[in-house]
Amino acid sequence: MTSSVSVRDLNLSFGPLTILDELSLEIDDGEFLVLLGPSGCGKSTLLNCIAGLLDITDGQIFIKGRNVTWEEPKDRGIGMVFQSYALYPQMTVEGNLSFGLRNTRMPREEIRQRVARAAEILQIEPLLKRKPAALSGGQRQRVAIGRALVRDADVFLFDEPLSNLDAKLRSELRVELKRLHRTLKNTMIYVTHDQIEALTLADRIAVMKDGIIQQLADPRTLYNRPANRFVAGFVGSPAMNFLDGTLVEADGLPAFRTRDTVIPLDGYAQAERLEPGRPVVLGLRPEHIRLGPEAGNAPHRFEAQFELDEPMGADNLVWLRLDGHPLSVRTETVDGLAVGDRVPIAVNLPMASLFDAESHRRL
Amino acid sequence: MTTSLTATPAAVDGPRGRKPRRRFTPATIMLYGVLIVAAVYYLLPLYVMVVTSLKGMPEIRMGNIFAPPVDITFQPWVTAWDSACTGLTCEGIKVGFWNSVKITVPGVLVSIAMASVSGYALANWRFRGSEFFFTCLLFGAFIPYQVLLYPLVILLRELGIFSTLTGVVVVHTIFGMPILTLLFRNYFASLPLEIFKAARVDGAGFWQIFLQVYLPMSIPIFVVGVILQVTGIWNDFLLGVVFAGNQNYPMTVQLNNVVNAVQGVKEYNVNMAATLLTAMVPLIVYFVSGRLFVRGIAAGAVKG
């Protein structure tokens, strides 16, 4: 596969403040790449650099094999959609869509055709004569996407496009965006801090923190095998449980020990190469712990104390205490549990994650 | 339980519905009292001027300046406009009126055009030293006019535009720049940056973004700028008397010449009419665009 967008050794600093440092990223043709991270992690900055809206300090940016490092935004073959929609308030929807084309002095007939095609794809034909103020949030964002669409851009850049919408519209437009990507097959780079958006939309996700890409992987790998503790904690809702402890040897097999509890690590990938004595953090997702009768006759069971439960509709989030550590478990039934009850739990170790206590890297 | 609470139905379960408002609280009395005093303070002189300008000289000599005119005459207004003596000529202040128009219209247009573009550039197209430039401009807003008068006279003389309309327009533009640029810069800086970015991605350049995207979004602040400049330039006396030259004296200077004439009888009614005529333009501007003015000020001139 050819590379569509290629960022090489990108460096951006404002005076002494370094935002992005030696960042490299290869994005395949037609790929939907999501930049995910908490606010201030540099994901929007990276997007602005790719768009050419920020002057970079060092490094190179290639789009479709062309070095665009010094090119103006309009010459990069990109379309961009912003969080605040950024529609021109005094122009009609049609004016908004055609503004970029009029700037290139395109023949009128072709502008008309392109606007009509984009309006058809996004189903905004009845709105063409309206001003942005007369549109709802979802309609505005559709127009903003249309503005990128008419330009026949090679690469679409989305800067948190759904963050200003309410929850219901957000999930609707999310599906539409995915459908749009299926139809158009353009390369799309999408910035968000919403992990659900990232997991549902992306071919690959780049999780960023402090201007550094922590992990670049497809959503399933990212979720099941996070590369470090930060990624593990950031991705997943409800969040992963972390237990501090050390590696020990129990009955000749590697095990994890926290206070009085010893969890044998059979089933964890390549557990035998881990040397005992090392301080580690065990990460367990709430849905990878079974509770009560579900724990059944699993080989290793532990006892935890019930604290409270949060009904979440489809299932429940149950908070327990395991040897003093708070532990959340996702389960379907919580019948007949009272505060302080002791319940058996079992851990799905092949799905667990072990991190080094110091470097926070996955072991 | 219920028997003790039967005095009024409202007392049964306490207050309900809209809270009643009392008309005459000490606070409202104070508020309206102050407002009325302030209004009288400002309106009384205006009333005296209007009344006096409609009286004949015999009636004025009787000395009741607050009395309404017994015999209404518009002759003082005609005289003031058409035949009052300003220094050596006796053509009324209409000459000054047209001079003021000739100074104000280009002065307003040029200064607004320059300041809006500068403000836009300072807000959106940061260049090397733009912060320094902006600081200088801010500093300029606080320098008193008088300090710059003599250097400017020399400058304009060297340029060959001293005592010309062009000269006085240039001077007004220069003095309007700091505060207007500040006004526009702050307004443009308050507009969402993403619109600017979107326009750049759409391939619009410096002028296209300014004229097609920003200008239509910024009508209120342009109204504020126009009002500030119209009233400022129209009411100006000092710069007009120094830079315009005899034949171009603005209305304020002509008015002064009418009112302060030392020869003959003081025609109070004509003076009042001439003053009202001079004040008419800023008054009309405020009345017509007052609402837009407030909106523009609230929209970004003060904040930011």
Q: How far apart are CA A135 and CA A92, in angstroms?
A: 11
Residue A4 has pLDDT above 90, yes or no: no
Give the residue from A234, A263, A282 where a domain finishes: A234
Of the ranges A3-12, A29-38, A141-150, A292-301, which one carries the lowest mean pLDDT score?
A292-301
The reported pLDDT for the residue numbered A32 is: 95
**Percent of chain A residues past pLDDT 70, beyond the cut:** 99
Q: In the predicted model, is pLDDT for residue A102 greater than 80?
A: yes
Domain boundary among A234, A252, A286: A234
A218 and A265 in a single domain? The answer is no
Tell whether A281 and A303 lie within a shared domain: yes
Pairing assessment for the beta strands A3-14 and A17-28 based on DSSP bridges: antiparallel
As given in the structure block, the two tokens for residue B293 are 């003015």
Q: A-side interface with B, Cβ within 8 Å?
A: 48, 51, 53, 72-74, 78-80, 82-84, 86-91, 99-100, 103-104, 144, 147, 151, 159
Q: What is the pLDDT of residues A59-69, one digit of tens each?
A: 999 999 899 99
- A270 within domain boundaries: yes
* Lowest-pLDDT range of A130-134, A228-232, B6-10, B219-223: B6-10
Q: CA-CA distance, A205 to B256, in Å (whole number)?
A: 76
Tell me which of B291 and A212 has the higher pLDDT: A212
| B200, B203, B213 member nearest A53 (Cβ) | B200
For residues A215 and A206, the answer to whether their CB atoms sit within 8 Å is yes
Residue A361 falls inside a structural domain: no
Residue A257 and residue A144 in one domain: no
| Domain co-membership, A15 together with A131 | yes
ipTM of the complex: 0.86
Q: Is the dihedral of CA B194, B197, B201, B204 positive or negative?
A: positive
Most A CBs within 10 Å: which of B202, B214, B217, as the mutation test of the A interface? B202
* Domain co-membership, A16 together with A132: yes
Among A48, A83, A88, the residue with its CB nearest the CB of B213 is A88
Same domain flag for A65 and A147: yes
A362 found inside a domain = no
> Which residues of chain A neighbour B199 with C-beta distances below 8 Å?
88, 99
pLDDT under 70: residue ranges of chain B: 1-12, 262, 295-304
Q: What tokens does A117 get?
A: 């095609």
pLDDT of residue A119: 93
What CATH number should be reported for the domain holding residue A71? 3.40.50.300
Write down the mean pLDDT value for chain A. Answer: 89
Chain B residues touching A73 at Cβ < 8 A: 197, 200-201, 203
Give, in degrees to the nearest 5, the angle at Cα B117 between B112 and B120: 120
Q: Can you give the pLDDT at residue B146?
A: 84
Lateral strand order in the sheet of A78-81: A78-81, A155-159, A187-192, A32-36, A204-209, A212-217
Task: With beta carbons under 8 A apart, name residues in chain A contacting B200.
Answer: 53, 72-74
Do residues A193 and A269 share a domain? no
CATH of the domain at A280: 2.40.50.140
Among A74, A83, A141, A163, pick the best mutation site for testing chain B contact (most B Cβ within 10 A): A74
Joined tokens for residue A269:
């990938």
Residue B230: strand, helix, or coil: helix
Min Cα–Cα distance to chain A from B196, Å: 8
| pLDDT given at position B301 | 41
Interface test with B, best of A53, A111, A152 (most B CBs within 10 A): A53
Which class in CATH covers the domain with range B94-301? Answer: mainly alpha
A155 plus A50 within the same structural domain: yes
Give the pLDDT band (50/70/90) at residue A270: confident
Q: Tell me if A63 is assigned to some domain.
A: yes
Asked if residues B168 and B236 have their Cβ atoms less than 8 Å apart, the reply is no
Chain B: which residues have CB within 8 Å of chain A? 192, 194-195, 197-204, 208, 212-213, 216-217
The full set of domain ranges for chain B reads 94-301
User: Is A291 part of any domain?
Assistant: yes
Same domain for A208 and A343: no
| A272 belongs to a structural domain | yes
CA dist., res. B170 & res. B109, Å (int): 11
**Which among A72, A86, A147 has the least Cβ separation from residue B194?**
A86
Q: Are residues A169 and A250 in the same domain?
A: no
Measured between beta carbons, the chain A residues lying within 8 angstroms of B195 are: 86-88
**Domain match, A223 and A265 both:** no
Q: Tens of pLDDT along B4-40?
A: 544 555 556 888 888 888 878 899 999 999 999 999 9
- How high is the pLDDT of residue B303? 36
State pLDDT tens for residues A249-264. 877 788 888 888 888 8
Q: Considering the domain boundaries, does residue A71 fall inside one?
A: yes
Answer whether A83's CB lies under 8 Å from A173's CB. Answer: no
Q: Is residue A73 part of a domain?
A: yes
Residues of A in contact with B194 (CB under 8 A): 82-84, 86, 159
User: Where does residue B160 rank: exposed (0-12), middle (13-18), buried (19+ CB within 10 A)?
Assistant: exposed
Structurally, chain A folds into a number of domains equal to 2
For residue A308 the two structure tokens come to 């409270």
Per-residue confidence (pLDDT) for residue B47, from 0 to 100: 94
Share of chain A above pLDDT 90, in %: 53
Q: How many residues does chain A have?
A: 363
Residues A255 and A219 in one domain: no
**A–B CB contacts, 8 A cutoff, strictly below:** 65
Give the residue from A199, A234, A269 where a domain finishes.
A234
Closest chain B residue to A81, measured at CA: B198
Query: Which domain does A262 fall in, by range?
Result: 241-356
